[in-house]
Amino acid sequence: MGDWDERVLGWIAEEDVLAFTGRRFLNRLTKPVYLVPLTAAVAVCLALRGRAFAGLAILFSCWGDRFLVGVGWAAWSRARPDVIAEGVAASGFHSFPSGHTAMSTAAYGLLVYLWVRAASAWGERIFALVLATVWVLLVGLARVRLGGHWPSDIPAGLAVALPWVIVVVTA
C-alpha cells in the first residue's frame, strides 16, 4: 500500500481538500479531551433515565477499542507519514490503524445505534446514520489531510471499530 498511500498524500498536499480550520476542528472532536466528557455526559444522562447499562455500554464502546488499536499498533508498528508539512502533525505513536477513526466510530457508532433504536420515524433513523457516516469519514479525511495518517490507516480504523461496536451492541 506504500506507493498508493504516497500518491494519495501527494495529491492531498497539492490540493486543499479541506481547509486548515476544518481539519483542526474535526481532529479536536475525536481527541480524548472531548470524547471523555461527551461519553461521560451521555452515560450519566442514560443512568439518570434508568438506563445505566446503556450508559456503561457507551463508555465500554468508546474506550474498549483503544485496546484493539493498541494491538494493531504493536503488530504492524507502521510509522506516521512525513509527506505533508514534513510530518509536523505526526505524533510519536504508530499509524496503523487510525486510533482517531476507530475511537470516533466506536463512540458515535453506539450513540447513533441508541438514537436509531429510540427514533420512531424512518427519516430520523436515516438522518442519524448518514450524519454518523459523514462525520466519521470527515474525521478520517482530516487526519490524512493533517498528515497524521496514511490513507489506508482510515479503513483499518473502521475495520477495527465497526466489529467492536457490533460486539458491544450484541452484548
Q: Mean pLDDT score of the chain, rounded to an integer?
A: 78
C-alpha distances out from residue 119 to 51, 111, 133, Å: 16, 12, 17
Smallest CA-to-CA distance from 38 within 19, 58, 54, 52 is with 58
pTM (2 decimals)?
0.73
pLDDT at 152: 82
Q: How far apart are CA 145 and CA 157, in angstroms?
A: 16
Non-local CB neighbours of 145 within 8 Å, separated by 6+ positions? 12, 17, 18, 23, 84
116-144 tens-digit pLDDT: 988 889 999 999 999 989 888 888 887 77
7-60 tens-digit pLDDT: 766 666 655 545 555 556 666 666 667 777 888 888 898 899 898 888 888 888
Non-local CB neighbours of 111 within 8 Å, separated by 6+ positions? 42, 58, 132
